[in-house]
A and B are shown apart, each in its own frame.
Chain A
Amino acid sequence: MFSEFLQYLFTGITIGATYALIALGFTLIYNASHVINFAQGEFLMVGGMATVSLTAMGVPMLLAVVLAVILAGVLGIALQRLAIAPAKNADVVTLIIITIGASIFIRGLAQLVWGKEYHVMANFSSDEPIQVFGAVLNTQSLWVLGVGAILVAVLVYFFTRTLTGKAILATSMNKDAARLVGIRTQVVLMLAFMVSALLGSIAGIVVAPITFTSYDIGIILGLKGFVAAAIGGLGSGMGAVVGGLALGVVEAMAAGYLSSDYKDAVAFSMILLVLFFLPRGLFGAKVVERV
């Protein structure tokens, strides 16, 4: 009985950690520009696919990971420079639609370059799962959780202690005021896209051994990440983490105790409930309209 519960919990936390990492990427760009970047899932895909294809070409794992993350970072910058920046005076909805277009473009490109097959990536460490009170835990889950925790800590440090991080926050609060105090807001935006791409690609790499990877893996994971971000309250880093974990655990519990048929329905009704009672999400900022 307890081992069952523990099993569902492990499953939920692992998936949840993935959702949380994706949600963090959404949050980052949303904070800097109020744009919801629907190409976030694509960064995840690029990270996983590039690592797989580089290792297949004989590049050592660690180098492949670094190169894949750099590639995603460059892609993030390119997305901002080539697609978002030229439309700088457009309103937010237009920019969001641009990101959807960009995600379709990146997916199409990936399909041409890497083909349509699913690919495997080996576990980072042992394939032997760990036994905990009768439940089993994949060692890769520990990697996902560990890497996730480190990234969250780094992000918190970045936003509260570094000048660049503060510049991003300032830009999100008031673009004009930020520019007046000497922040180059276009550079800040570019930075936000790059960091969020790095984040996405790292998430894509650590989960690839669990989920496999293919050119279209970003669609559903990106969507779930967005749900997690919305539950947590868009723009809140803490909310993204809590939202992601909650979504993952609820999904796994629903599959275990209710019915696997309704698993996704439960997850998506959760967002309805949360937004119904807390329109700004669990940790959403209170917005005060100045008259």
Chain B
Amino acid sequence: MFKTITRCASKFVAIAAVSLLAMNVHAADPIRIGSFLSVTGPASFLGDPELKTLQMYVEKINEKGGVLGRQLELVHYDDAGNASKARNFASRLIRSDRVDIIVGGSTTGATMAAVPMVEQARIPFISLAGAVVITTPVKEWVFKTPQSDYMAAVRILNDMKTQGLSKVGLISGTGGFGSSGREQTLKAVKEIGGIEVVGDETYSGSDTDMTAQLTNLRNVKGVDTILNFGFGQGPAIVTRNYDQLGIELPFYQSHGVASDGFLELAGDSAEGLRLPASPLLVPESLPESDPQKPVVEAYKSEYEERWDAKVSTFGAYAYDGLMLAVAAIEKAGTTDKAAVREALESIQGHVGVTGTFNMSADDHNGLKADSFRILEVRDGSWKLIN
């Protein structure tokens, strides 16, 4: 009798202790945000500011009490720009770290390598890479924060049209960014109408002189504007050659060179060229009525104060990714993966640094072409046109 009572009691105590422990663990159990980024290697200019941004804002959110009363925990790996490493890390995040959501993938290659794992494991994934393929066609669990190059092309072509320009001489890099940009531009030209590509030249990333290509474009009959889609130092050389050849046509570049580093390289010869870019380059010239102004200004000043380095548009993609994840978890009220995915897909009017996100079942990017701002180089700095 006594034995049974003690047994019962000890059982009860054990169960109570275990459940108490479980509850305790549950209350302290952090929300795990997984990330794989190209922090080192050739794409470190993407991954480095992205990681810094994630670390900084996870800390900030935790100081304010976390999300749903739970702390955030960032689990991150460095894929060094290598797609197969990215795939391994994605699998590690899903299987052994058991994260609740993934925000990462600095490059399109890394992102696409992780996509099959993510789809199979059914876990929400917000990518920080730009290419159209990531969200077109829509993949159930995959979202992304940067605009695609198609939108950049549309934005540029529309600005040309408002300037009364209709015959474009296109020059592009043969690297991934340039060749995708070229394809998207040709596609956008067909869809927009009233504008055509009359010349089509390319250069490779290691070329040191593009005067031959530019001379060809200038000599095309009727050409009234030139567009360069490229990345790295190539576009800066194109800009210099353009100036040396004394070409007077309006000159457009892509968002690939929307950085202060480009202005430094191209110097005076960049004067007057236009490009689509994130408002992050010109926070002080945004009008007070712009809903993005406070977000952009806050991100810029917080980042620069914390890291003592210039803010970059790539870091902003990570900022938007993290904030979208947090917003979705808050909206879902749980970290249940299906619920968070649902919530992500229904996010409307979320004001980020890159633009205002309106997600839907057939748009997992949620940005429109007009989230790009057209900037012009005047007196060696960026000037907001519209």
Contacts and interface: CB of A to CB of B under 8 A. Distances in A.
Contact of A14 (B44, B204, B209): B209
B237 A212 contact: yes
A151 interface: no
A110 to B, nearest CB: 15
Contact of B244 (A120, A129, A207, A256): A129
A210 B208 contact: yes
Interface in B256-279: 261, 264-265, 267-268
A7 B212 contact: yes
Given A116-B44, A207-B208, A210-B208, A255 B213 contact: yes
A260 B208 contact: no
B244 A136 contact: yes
Contact of B212 (A120, A138, A252): A252
Contacts of B225: none
A11 B211 CA distance: 7
Contact of B215 (A8, A117, A210): A8
Contacts of B216: 256, 260
B212 A136 contact: no
Interface string A238-255: 000000000000001001
B308 to A, nearest CB: 16
Nearest to A216: B206
Interface in B210-224: 211-213, 215-216, 219
Given A129-B244, A261-B202, A118 B236 contact: yes
Q: How large is the interface on A (under 10, 10 to 19, 20 to 34, 35 or more residues)?
A: 20 to 34
B213, B236, B244: most-surrounded residue (chain A CB, <10 A): B244
A27 interface: no
Nearest to B171: A260
A213 B216 CA distance: 26
A120 B265 contact: yes
A214 interface: yes
Contact of B211 (A7, A211, A214): A7
A212 B206 contact: no
A269 to B, nearest CB: 16
Contacts of A136: 211, 244-246
B44, B203, B268: most-surrounded residue (chain A CB, <10 A): B203
A220 B267 CA distance: 25
Contacts of B207: 263
14 contacts: A8-B212, A11-B212, A15-B209, A116-B45, A118-B232, A118-B265, A129-B246, A210-B208, A212-B236, A220-B206, A256-B212, A260-B201, A260-B216, A261-B202
Given A7-B215, A117-B261, 20 more contacts: A15-B208, A15-B209, A18-B208, A118-B232, A118-B233, A120-B264, A127-B268, A129-B244, A138-B244, A207-B208, A210-B208, A211-B237, A212-B233, A212-B265, A214-B233, A219-B206, A220-B206, A221-B208, A256-B213, A256-B215
